[in-house]
Amino acid sequence: MEKFQVTILGCGSATPSPKHYTSSQVIEIRGKLFMVDCGEGTQIQLRRSHVAFARINQIFISHLHGDHCFGLLGMISSFGLLGRTAPLIIHAPQELGPVLQYEMDFYCRDLEYQVEFQGFDPDTTSVIYEDRSLSVTAFPLRHRVPCAGFLFQEKPTSDHLDRAAADFYGVPTWDYNRIKDGGDFITPDGDVIPHERLTKPADTCRSYAYCCDTAYNPSMIPIIKGADLIYHDCTYSSRNADLAKKHFHSTAADAARTAVESCARKLMLGHFSARYDDETCLLEEAKQLFPDTILAKENLTVSI
Amino acid sequence: MEKFQVTILGCGSATPSPKHYTSSQVIEIRGKLFMVDCGEGTQIQLRRSHVAFARINQIFISHLHGDHCFGLLGMISSFGLLGRTAPLIIHAPQELGPVLQYEMDFYCRDLEYQVEFQGFDPDTTSVIYEDRSLSVTAFPLRHRVPCAGFLFQEKPTSDHLDRAAADFYGVPTWDYNRIKDGGDFITPDGDVIPHERLTKPADTCRSYAYCCDTAYNPSMIPIIKGADLIYHDCTYSSRNADLAKKHFHSTAADAARTAVESCARKLMLGHFSARYDDETCLLEEAKQLFPDTILAKENLTVSI
């Protein structure tokens, strides 16, 4: 299967702490790199990681709190100083457009590559990016300000050709793609060899749901249903459920409940409050409801 | 002597690298904390340092390149989230005022402390901050954009009272301050005890010169003359003098020459290009001209 993986650059909440950078991660799908959120210090983490950051062409910003976007201007500027020429597309709530343009007009006058802004409405569900192999859907979360989650979904691929079977029946190479796409093969003698005998099923389409920052949000369950991995807001433990409610964030139990209800395969907890020296308490709380849970941490890469 | 020290938060140039954060440092003088420059990640470094950052009330920005000011907005925002109530004064080239205000209006609407902007003209020499115990003078450097250096200078203090002598001559305690400030003492018998016999000389006034980013700049020598410590641009070694010239930065030899001509006591090299894996070559180059030279590094504190 082709690579589909998530690398965490920062998973702390609110302000950088000695332990965590603020939100940012890079998703690699079939050779393409996508960044989600860009808190202060993201470019520092990028340089320390093994991410080939010159290949990031699309950045998705969930909402306009500083811990999710204060690293954007510095990264745009540094990409210019490092000689970038490829266009960079920023998908973010519409409101960011004029602010970013104002800042770039002041600080990035000599940029030698194009930064294209594509605003979206975080209060509605819509496909905001699509190419041959995947789509990215933005959907509303429940936060103090308009805030989107993102669902990265592979598109179906063709079935795999069974080379031994194809050779056995004498399928010519120029006919391979038609067979892989569902066609049967007719031999020179007129025998019909069905598609199923010549192929193995395509890989299943994988998906990754980024759900940060949000209170428990049942309205998104149908959208992220069956996700292979969910990254979920886990700012607090249930002991601080009052704070979670007040600030429109989630507890570990909220995150686990979401994973259960979404029939997810795996859950990654993130956006940790700095109050927890040891986040094991969050992990244990979530695992009671949803065993296949892990903690995010800086520089962790998870394959899907 | 009271504390006068410099703590380096970042000493890299242009963009953050795996080795260095971009420019920022904190100067502590007689219990007061001053920040100079604020590149991206400064608040991260502050949290890792032992600097009591809540006591920083004045920030000085040398010029408006991102590696000297991209950390400002995030730090202002985080100070708010961390419950700051004391006003924060930003001294920066005038041009930054409206940009910072625009950004704060967008990102920091709920700030519960006051941020006051005090613009200055980086092309002229002037005292931009003054209190009972020190002054800060901004002076022009030679860079691609208007850029200021900063001279932190202690003010003269009163002489120290010689308690043994004062007791011997029967000086009453209510008269101590007048004696320390230069007065003589007249005994009840009418004898004049001269000031010099009752006191020991005041500490000498120390000074620190921050000279970053700049090409070799002889016009500042009279201003920083006799500085106890100079922090100087040392982006390149003399082997890359062509780059230093092109980008209006200094070589190690330029920095050392400045220290010699200023009759400085000590030189700290900083603002290193990421091209040097090992900055020892820069140190050695400078030491040939000015032996009392050290390399800046993150979290280094130098007492003056």
Question: What does pLDDT average to over chain B?
Answer: 96
| pLDDT tens for each residue of chain A, 304 residues long | 789 999 999 999 999 888 999 999 999 999 999 999 999 999 999 999 989 999 999 999 999 999 999 999 999 999 999 999 999 999 999 999 999 999 999 999 989 999 999 999 999 999 999 999 999 999 999 999 999 999 999 999 889 999 999 999 999 999 999 999 999 999 999 999 999 999 999 988 999 999 999 999 999 999 999 999 999 999 999 999 999 999 999 999 999 999 999 999 999 999 999 999 999 999 999 999 999 999 999 999 999 9
Please tell me the predicted confidence (pLDDT) of residue B18: 87
Is residue B175 part of the annotated active site? The answer reads no
| For residues B11-36, average pLDDT | 95
Please tell me the predicted confidence (pLDDT) of residue A259: 98
| For residues B139-145, average pLDDT | 97
Whether the CB-CB separation of A77 and A165 falls below 8 Å is answered with no
Contact residues on chain B for A107, CB-CB shorter than 8 A:
64, 66, 70
Query: How close does chain A come to B226, measured CA to CA in Å?
Result: 36
CB within 8 A of B246, min separation 6: which ones? Answer: none
Q: How many CB atoms lie within 10 A of CB A48?
A: 14
Angle subtended at Cα A167 by Cα A163 and Cα A171, rounded to the nearest 5 degrees = 100
Mark which residues 15-34 of A lie under 8 Å from B by CB: 15-18, 21
Mark which residues 37-56 of A lie under 8 Å from B by CB: 40-41, 43-44, 47-48
Architecture of domain B4-157+203-303: 4-Layer Sandwich (3.60)
Please tell me which of the candidates A15, A47, A106 has its beta carbon nearest to residue B99.
Answer: A106
Please tell me the predicted confidence (pLDDT) of residue B50: 84
CB-side neighbour CA atoms (13 Å) of B119? 12
B102 touches chain A (CB under 8 A): yes
Please tell me which of the candidates B15, B44, B81 has its beta carbon nearest to residue A41.
Answer: B44
Q: Do B47 and A81 touch (CB under 8 A)?
A: no
Instruction: State the Cα–Cα distance between residues B230 and B250, nearest whole angstrom.
Output: 14
Q: Do B74 and A70 touch (CB under 8 A)?
A: yes
Please tell me which of the candidates B18, B74, B103 has its beta carbon nearest to residue A47.
Answer: B18
Please tell me the predicted confidence (pLDDT) of residue B1: 78
Contact residues on chain B for A106, CB-CB shorter than 8 A:
64, 99
Whether the CB-CB separation of A53 and A46 falls below 8 Å is answered with yes
| For residues B89-102, average pLDDT | 98
Over the stretch B175-214, which tens digit does the pLDDT of each residue have?
A: 999 999 999 999 999 999 999 999 999 988 999 999 999 9
Q: Do A43 and B40 touch (CB under 8 A)?
A: yes
Please tell me the predicted confidence (pLDDT) of residue A32: 96
* Closest chain B residue to the Cα of A106, Cα to Cα: B99
Please tell me the predicted confidence (pLDDT) of residue B279: 97
B99 touches chain A (CB under 8 A): yes
Cis peptide before B37 (omega within 30 of 0): no
- Angle, helix A96-107 to helix B96-107, in steps of 10 degrees: 160
Please tell me the predicted confidence (pLDDT) of residue A8: 98
Please tell me the predicted confidence (pLDDT) of residue A50: 84
Please tell me the predicted confidence (pLDDT) of residue B203: 86
Q: B8: which 2 tokens?
A: 């380096």
Tell me the CA distances in angstroms from A232 to A143, A210, A267, A276, one per residue in order.
Answer: 13, 6, 7, 17
Please tell me the predicted confidence (pLDDT) of residue A108: 95
DSSP A215: S
**In chain A, what is the straight-line distance between the N-terminal and C-terminal CA atoms, in Å?**
10
Strand-pair category, B199-200 with A160-161: unpaired
Among residues B291, B282, B253, B287, which one has the least CA distance to residue B11? B282
Confidence of residue B89 (pLDDT cuts 50, 70, 90): very high
Query: How close does chain B come to A85, measured CA to CA in Å?
Result: 17
Query: Cβ-count burial of A233 within 10 angstroms (0-12 exposed, 13-18 middle, 19+ buried)?
Result: buried
Q: Do A77 and B70 touch (CB under 8 A)?
A: yes
Q: What is the pTM of this model?
A: 0.92
Confidence of residue B226 (pLDDT cuts 50, 70, 90): very high
User: How do the domains of chain A map onto residue ranges?
Assistant: 4-157+203-303, 160-200
